[in-house]
Chains A and B, each alone.
Chain A
Amino acid sequence: MNLAGRLHPISTALRELASIFARMGFSVAHGPELETEWHTFTGLNIPPDHPARDMQDTFWIKDRKEEVMRTHTTTVTLRMLEKMAKENLTELRTFNPGKVFRNEATDITHEAQFYQIDGFAAAPTGQITLAHLKGTFEQLYKEYLGPDVKVRFRPSFFSFTEPSVEIDCWFHVPGKEGRWLEMSGAGMLHPTVMRNAGLDPEKTQGFAFGGGLERLLMVKYGIPDVRYFHNGDLRFDYAFEEKV
């Protein structure tokens, strides 16, 4: 008797999300978890000693200056923009899922390690707009959460995007009232980030986004505690059943 094992729900989710993004022209990109300060902060227009650094509690490394545990996978976006500059690409879209780290106390909604689903699309100026960001998330949530979802933007701030928005999603959890949920931060890539990557911000323009994956899954499936995802408990894998 050799019963099939179970994939971790994050693996299953990432496959489905990657296929949704692929239909919108995004390939999957990845990068290191122990990152440079440049790719995590400075290159993303979060300079040293700037209050914007307080927006993320960071694990710095002892005796290894200028290295951090990445606090977001926007690090991969910067690496991909650098690749565009280096290889003279005029357009690129990537979906960058990956583990990120925040130095904060854990509870049912906070975890020191979690996954972010991050990505970007860039092309010659005027081709990729905030309206396309809305389109991307509407398609993403419609395909992943259901046809009834709605998407809205609220103004926000991220150093690496301008304009910056929060993306809310109207989602109806079965058996509960529908409500707006804050799902992702996003915006149009900041000209400083483009320049830092070696691109000309007058010629290349695009959007970037990033949000927590566990939160999306908690909403989709009604999972009550974020800590189930990374504590190695097999009961969590077995709590998922294929829909028949």
Chain B
Amino acid sequence: MKVSRSWLQKYFEAELPSIPAIDDALTFHAFEIEEVISDDVIDLKVLPDRAGYGLSHRGIAHELSAILKMPMKMDPLRVPVSAFPPTDKLVITQDDTYVLRHAGALVRGIKVGPSPDWLKTALEAVGQRSINNIVDILNYVMLDIGQPAGAFDVGTLKKDDDVVKIDIRRAKKGEKITILTGEEYELTDAMFVFTDAVGGTLLDVAGIKGGKSSGVTEKTTDLFISVGNYDGTLLRRASQALKIFTDASTRYQNRPSPELVGYGMRDVLALIKQVAGGELVGVVDEYPRKPVARTVSVTRKNIEEILGAEYSETVIEDVFARLGFSFSKNGDAYVVTPPFERIDINVMQDLVEEVGRIAGYDHVATKAMTASGSVPKNEVIAACNAVRDILAKEGYSEISSYVFQDVGDVEMAKPLADDKKFLRPSFERGHMRAIEQNGPNLPLFNAKDLKLFEIGAVWPKGKEKLILGVTHWTPEKSANKKTDAALGAVSEFLSAAAGKPLSSARIGNTLQFEISQLIGVLSATNAKPPSLTYQQFSLYPFVLRDIAVWVPDGVAASAVESIIREKAGALLKRCDLFDTFSKEGRTSYAYRLVFQSMDKTLTDAEVNAWMKVVTDTLHEQLNWQVR
């Protein structure tokens, strides 16, 4: 929610601190700051618990008042609402399964026009577009105290002997409404609408979005003002089904107190009178289920037992006073009556949080977590770790591949992409992809064959299983035989370690084992994990060059290698000896060189130039000969 400092200022006599100080105050005592937009505006992340009161400038002002100990010069929610004049010119019927409270007003003789500057400025500061004075007033009141409202052009409604009749009812399946922005929506009987009970026209998706037919225009002179409170669950479902998310629906689904309706109506009517003139005919306020005032109790002991720090009665009582919570003492207990808008205060722990955050979590000092004795071993994790160590020792490297793929038995209701609809039934596809991806990179690891494994969940026939998949692949001749032999060896050494024959299933290049057969059989040693450093790898292709050189017997490979490394340039990534043989007093060393840049694709010409320097230098050595 975007909040403007100058808007907040209207609640205080003293000048508010700067935006950075406000940012700090809210961050450490109330809300996360999403973004500081300007030296006047910040965007707050109001989470669901505080959304019932926090999605409003008044709510934020009240928080700042409590945190900064700055008294508010006026608080609209603490000024009682006087009774509205009744009227028989407006009749409203409502379905109480959806409508928790609804106040409707009839106002005649208003003048629609541009908003005064102060209103435009206030709305534009928080990123709202000014539309006309009436719509702007509704938006202003919503952003000011958190109560959404709607306005309808009475001139577009049919009357029954000069009486406006509104029915807030369940929609019929297939009924259609064109909303203010022009799009048409088809409704279901799980949604609720405002209708003109005389003419039958659908006017509004209740609590979500106004309809076009009764929208306020320059010609409008008479208004039906609607301020409501609706069932959060039903409204949320309707909003999600229609995919219409508005500032109003966001507020309603967070279930603000229906008490707020009266304050909203009062403020809307006052502003209309001030800005657009007109005459209030009267108000019809239906409030079938008035919530009873709650009390929540907490003791000092509760607070200290949960937060783990000491709080004096002075501190606790000061927090309650700053938050405007009235309380009485009953023995050790504070019996707190939260203000009506604080729908988030329901259990003792909610009060503990209020004390913790307003007093500040810096007050909570660190207490060490001590342990007596050793903790029980998780046999599944221990078996997995043991397998990891065995396989790594045998040259297999561990990967993690995606669980989502294009075929399987368990389908996502809303997949990320068409080829990620299903949960993997095995590692087959993921490891085939890993072969395609890693196979060409073997020279980077100085390896002749690709040896991979993964431990993870798979869902064959829809049931989750934890398995080990070991994959072998080689680009060399008789690849299949080599893979068969390698995977055969894996089965053998794992069975040997387990002390029993393990069952496995072969799919393609992958051999899969259920982890369940290793539990309690294999167990990790307590080897201390190594300290690691990370060196970012290149995302660019590498270039390979082989070079073989004859040297007199007795010349060490290291002598050759050091020349290569010295002369091949900074982009030589690897230099691996792959073949050595001696013949007639001479030794041949063959090296594979890998060149790679961190920031570009190397050209053959570049690499050839470096190779020429290497070749020439090797040639220059006495009795050395590049083959």
8 A Cβ contacts from B418-472 to A: 420, 423, 430-431, 433-434, 437-438, 441, 444-447, 450-453, 456-457, 459, 462, 464
Cβ-defined contact, A233 with B438, below 8 A: yes
Q: A163-B352, A234-B445 are in contact. Are A27 and B375 (CB under 8 A)?
A: yes
Which residue of chain A is the closest to B453 with respect to CB atoms? A5
Interface status of A42 (Cβ within 8 A of chain B): no
Q: A6-B392, A34-B459, A188-B306 are in contact. Are A157 and B49 (CB under 8 A)?
A: yes
Interface status of A11 (Cβ within 8 A of chain B): yes
Which of A8, A28, A34, A153 is close to B361, meaning CB atoms less than 8 Å apart?
Answer: A153
Residues of A within 8 A of B306 (CB): 129-130, 163, 188, 205
> Once bound together, how far apart are the Cα atoms of A29 and B453, in whole Å?
23
Which of B48, B49, B433, B457 is close to A33, meaning CB atoms less than 8 Å apart?
Answer: B457
Residues of B within 8 A of A106 (CB): 416
| Number of A-B residue pairs having CB atoms within 8 Å of each other in the complex | 283
Residues of A within 8 A of B456 (CB): 99
Which residue of chain A is the closest to B348 with respect to CB atoms? A191
Which residue of chain A is the closest to B434 with respect to CB atoms? A232
Which of B374, B400, B533 is close to A230, meaning CB atoms less than 8 Å apart?
Answer: B400
> Once bound together, how far apart are the Cα atoms of A155 and B307, in whole Å?
13
Q: Mark B575-601, 1 if CB is under 8 A from A, else 0.
A: 000000000000000000000000000
Cβ-defined contact, A134 with B366, below 8 A: yes
Cβ-defined contact, A229 with B353, below 8 A: no
Interface status of A49 (Cβ within 8 A of chain B): yes
Interface status of A87 (Cβ within 8 A of chain B): no
Which residue of chain B is the closest to A230 with respect to CB atoms? B400
Which of A16, A59, A69 is close to B529, meaning CB atoms less than 8 Å apart?
Answer: A16
8 A Cβ contacts from A145-170 to B: 151-157, 159, 162-166
Residues of B within 8 A of A105 (CB): 416
CB distance from B408 to the nearest CB of A (A): 11
Q: Mark A134-146, 1 if CB is under 8 A from B, else 0.
A: 1110110000000
Kindly name the residue among A4, A32, A159, A222 whose own CB sees the greatest number of chain B CB atoms within 10 A: A4
> Once bound together, how far apart are the Cα atoms of A54 and B404, in whole Å?
22
> Once bound together, how far apart are the Cα atoms of A33 and B463, in whole Å?
11
Interface status of B395 (Cβ within 8 A of chain A): yes
> Once bound together, how far apart are the Cα atoms of A30 and B233, in whole Å?
33
Interface status of B385 (Cβ within 8 A of chain A): yes
Q: A61-B412, A131-B307, A241-B535 are in contact. Are A162 and B32 (CB under 8 A)?
A: no
Cβ-defined contact, B380 with A134, below 8 A: no
CB distance from B285 to the nearest CB of A (A): 27
Cβ-defined contact, A129 with B534, below 8 A: no
Cβ-defined contact, B437 with A131, below 8 A: no
8 A Cβ contacts from B356-370 to A: 356-357, 361-362, 364-370
> Once bound together, how far apart are the Cα atoms of A114 and B232, in whole Å?
32
Cβ-defined contact, A63 with B437, below 8 A: no
Cβ-defined contact, A130 with B356, below 8 A: yes
Cβ-defined contact, B399 with A237, below 8 A: yes
Interface status of A15 (Cβ within 8 A of chain B): yes
CB distance from A195 to the nearest CB of B (A): 11
Interface status of B350 (Cβ within 8 A of chain A): yes
> Once bound together, how far apart are the Cα atoms of A240 and B532, in whole Å?
6
Interface status of A51 (Cβ within 8 A of chain B): yes
Cβ-defined contact, B537 with A162, below 8 A: no
Q: Mark B233-244, 1 if CB is under 8 A from A, else 0.
A: 100110000000
Cβ-defined contact, A231 with B411, below 8 A: no
Cβ-defined contact, A135 with B430, below 8 A: no
Interface status of A224 (Cβ within 8 A of chain B): yes
> Once bound together, how far apart are the Cα atoms of A153 and B366, in whole Å?
11
> Once bound together, how far apart are the Cα atoms of A162 and B421, in whole Å?
36
Which residue of chain A is the closest to B49 with respect to CB atoms? A157
Interface status of B401 (Cβ within 8 A of chain A): yes
Q: Mark A210-244, 1 if CB is under 8 A from B, else 0.
A: 00000000000111100001111111111111110
Cβ-defined contact, A191 with B349, below 8 A: yes
Instruction: Give the segment of B22-30, B105-113, B608-616 that binds chain A.
Output: B22-30
| Interface size band for A | 35 or more
Interface status of A88 (Cβ within 8 A of chain B): no
Residues of B within 8 A of A163 (CB): 306-307, 349, 352-353, 356-357
User: At the interface, is chain B mostly helix, strand, loop or mixed?
Assistant: mixed
Interface status of B376 (Cβ within 8 A of chain A): yes
Q: Mark A160-190, 1 if CB is under 8 A from B, else 0.
A: 0011111000000000000000000000101
Which of A16, A19, A240 is close to B533, meaning CB atoms less than 8 Å apart?
Answer: A240
CB distance from A215 to the nearest CB of B (A): 14
Q: A34-B410, A135-B366 are in contact. Are A232 and B381 (CB under 8 A)?
A: no
Interface status of B347 (Cβ within 8 A of chain A): yes
Residues of A within 8 A of B309 (CB): 129-131
CB distance from B489 to the nearest CB of A (A): 11
Interface status of B488 (Cβ within 8 A of chain A): no
> Once bound together, how far apart are the Cα atoms of A54 and B45, in whole Å?
13
> Once bound together, how far apart are the Cα atoms of A59 and B421, in whole Å?
10
Cβ-defined contact, B378 with A156, below 8 A: no
> Once bound together, how far apart are the Cα atoms of A50 and B52, in whole Å?
13
Interface status of A86 (Cβ within 8 A of chain B): no
Cβ-defined contact, B529 with A60, below 8 A: no
CB distance from A226 to the nearest CB of B (A): 12
Which of B237, B347, B395, B528 is close to A2, meaning CB atoms less than 8 Å apart?
Answer: B395
Interface status of B402 (Cβ within 8 A of chain A): yes
> Once bound together, how far apart are the Cα atoms of A190 and B614, in whole Å?
69
Interface status of B253 (Cβ within 8 A of chain A): yes
CB distance from A210 to the nearest CB of B (A): 16
Interface status of B65 (Cβ within 8 A of chain A): no
Interface status of A125 (Cβ within 8 A of chain B): yes
Which of A27, A99, A238 is close to B378, meaning CB atoms less than 8 Å apart?
Answer: A27
Interface status of B396 (Cβ within 8 A of chain A): yes
Interface status of B388 (Cβ within 8 A of chain A): yes
Which of A60, A62, A125, A132 is close to B369, meaning CB atoms less than 8 Å apart?
Answer: A132
Cβ-defined contact, A11 with B388, below 8 A: yes
Q: A25-B371, A132-B369, A236-B537 are in contact. Are A153 and B364 (CB under 8 A)?
A: yes
> Once bound together, how far apart are the Cα atoms of A8 and B402, in whole Å?
14
> Once bound together, how far apart are the Cα atoms of A153 and B28, in whole Å?
8
Cβ-defined contact, B413 with A61, below 8 A: yes
CB distance from B253 to the nearest CB of A (A): 5
Cβ-defined contact, B400 with A239, below 8 A: no
Interface status of B265 (Cβ within 8 A of chain A): no
Which of B51, B385, B414, B450 is close to A59, meaning CB atoms less than 8 Å apart?
Answer: B414
Q: A5-B396, A157-B47 are in contact. Are A222 and B444 (CB under 8 A)?
A: no
Q: A49-B237, A221-B534 are in contact. Are A60 and B414 (CB under 8 A)?
A: yes
Q: Which 10 A-B pairs have the closest CB atoms?
A: A129-B308, A131-B308, A25-B371, A163-B353, A221-B534, A157-B47, A153-B361, A5-B397, A27-B375, A162-B349
Give 19 new A-B contacts, CB below 8 A, not counting A28-B381, A232-B401, A234-B399: A4-B392, A4-B393, A4-B395, A19-B529, A25-B369, A25-B375, A30-B378, A99-B403, A129-B305, A135-B368, A156-B47, A163-B349, A166-B32, A191-B348, A205-B306, A224-B536, A229-B400, A231-B437, A238-B397
Give 26 A-B contacts (CB < 8 Å), ordered by A residue.
Answer: A3-B445, A5-B451, A6-B398, A8-B399, A25-B371, A26-B375, A27-B376, A34-B459, A51-B254, A54-B48, A99-B403, A99-B457, A130-B364, A131-B364, A134-B365, A152-B362, A154-B27, A155-B29, A188-B349, A190-B349, A224-B536, A234-B399, A234-B452, A239-B537, A240-B532, A242-B531
